[in-house]
């Protein structure tokens, strides 16, 4: 027997079944991997490591934009992942919803901080 | 089945990669403020940059430097494991490489690569 999943019985904290989040998690992963490689290559370029070299990596506008894309990707990627974790371990709708809201607040706060760093330096 | 019974299962390598993929993700989620703090202090100015490096030498507040380094090492492992396990996922998605044997070998490679790289970077971090 299947549980009704519409009207007042609709599951409001489930996955967006199908391709959307599955694909989003992979696309964002590739973007973050690309960012990682770009940073590693520049760190390995010759020259002593210090503030000038490190800040120089993030100084060009294209690198700030790539970092911004990475931060937003991280936000979405971690949201999908943490939502999966909560769906697996927190069975009751109420606590799950509260925790999901906490995850969103945590992630949006962290993303805001990271983006601020990017354009303040 | 009681939860304690689940501990009787012997996990194959792919299951270790799977649960560690999840664990490493949660670790990085919880340590996000530390990660962004490192991003912030290392980039904002050369003064904050030297504050950043001094934390790894003299610690900060009541936190000793070795503890900061240990947390950093945990982050390094979490990132590497999550990264390699993610590449394994992408590879399987793209090639439909779903044989039992490939699953086992690639899981062992994932565990091995992330541990070896963690040891190498940990050596650089501590010595």
How does the average pLDDT of chain A come out, rounded? 91
pLDDT band at B111 (very low <50, low <70, confident <90, very high): very high
**What does the pLDDT average to over B103-114?**
97
Count of CB pairs separated by less than 8 Å, A with B: 57
Q: Do B22 and A85 touch (CB under 8 A)?
A: yes
pLDDT, tens digit, 9 for 90 and up, residues A34-49: 999 999 999 999 999 9
Asked whether the ipTM of the predicted complex exceeds the cut of 0.95, the reply is no
Of the candidates A26, A30, A120, the beta carbon closest to that of B44 is on A120
The answer to whether residue A1 scores a pLDDT higher than 60 is no
Query: What are the chain B neighbours of A25 within 8 Å (beta carbons)?
Result: none
- Count the helix, strand and coil residues of chain A and give each as a percent rounded to the nearest 5: 80, 0, 20
Q: Which residues of A45-79 are buried (b: 16+ CB within 10 A; e: fewer)?
A: eeeeeebeebbebbeeeebeebbeebbebbbbbbb
**CATH entry, B13-126, from 1.20.1300.10, 3.40.109.10, 1.10.10.10, 3.40.50.1580:** 1.20.1300.10
Backbone phi, then psi, for A4, in 5-degree steps? -65, 140
What is the pLDDT at residue B62? 93
A82 CB within 8 Å of a chain B CB:
yes
pLDDT, tens digit, 9 for 90 and up, residues A66-120: 999 999 999 999 999 999 999 999 999 999 999 999 999 999 999 999 999 999 8
pLDDT, tens digit, 9 for 90 and up, residues B45-78: 999 999 999 999 999 999 999 999 999 999 999 9
Its sign, for the CA torsion A114, A117, A118, A120, is positive
> Any idea where the domains of chain A sit in the sequence?
17-120
Angstroms from A11 CA to nearest CA on chain B = 24
The answer as to CATH 1.20.1300.10 being correct for domain A17-120 is yes
CA torsion angle for B2, B28, A29, B103 (degrees, to 10)?
Answer: -40
Q: Do A120 and B42 touch (CB under 8 A)?
A: no
**What does the pLDDT average to over B65-92?**
97
B94 CB within 8 Å of a chain A CB:
no
What is the pLDDT at residue A15? 64
């Amino acid at each position: 027997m299947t549980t009704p999943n519409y009207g007042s019985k609709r599951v409001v904290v489930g996955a967006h079944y199908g391709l959307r989040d599955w694909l989003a998690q992979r696309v964002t992963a590739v973007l973050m991997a690309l960012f990682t490689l770009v940073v590693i290559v520049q760190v390995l370029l010759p020259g002593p490591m210090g503030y000038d070299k490190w800040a120089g990596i993030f100084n060009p506008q294209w690198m700030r934009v790539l970092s911004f894309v990475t931060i937003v990707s991280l936000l979405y990627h971690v949201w999908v992942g943490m939502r999966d974790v909560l769906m697996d371990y927190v069975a009751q709708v109420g606590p799950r919803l509260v925790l999901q809201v906490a995850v969103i607040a945590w992630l949006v706060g962290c993303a805001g901080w990271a983006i601020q760093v990017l354009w303040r330096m | 089945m009681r939860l304690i019974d689940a501990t009787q299962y012997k996990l194959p390598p792919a299951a270790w990669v799977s649960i560690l993929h999840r664990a490493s993700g949660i670790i990085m989620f919880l340590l996000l403020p530390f990660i962004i703090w490192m991003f912030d202090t290392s980039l904002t100015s050369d003064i904050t940059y030297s504050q950043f490096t001094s934390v790894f030498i003299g610690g900060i507040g009541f936190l000793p430097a070795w503890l900061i380094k240990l947390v950093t090492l945990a982050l390094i492992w979490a990132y590497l494991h999550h990264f390699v396990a993610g590449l394994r996922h992408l590879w399987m998605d793209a090639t439909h490489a779903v044989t039992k044997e490939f699953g086992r070998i690639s899981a062992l490679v994932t565990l091995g690569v992330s541990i070896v790289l963690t040891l190498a970077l940990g050596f650089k971090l501590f010595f």
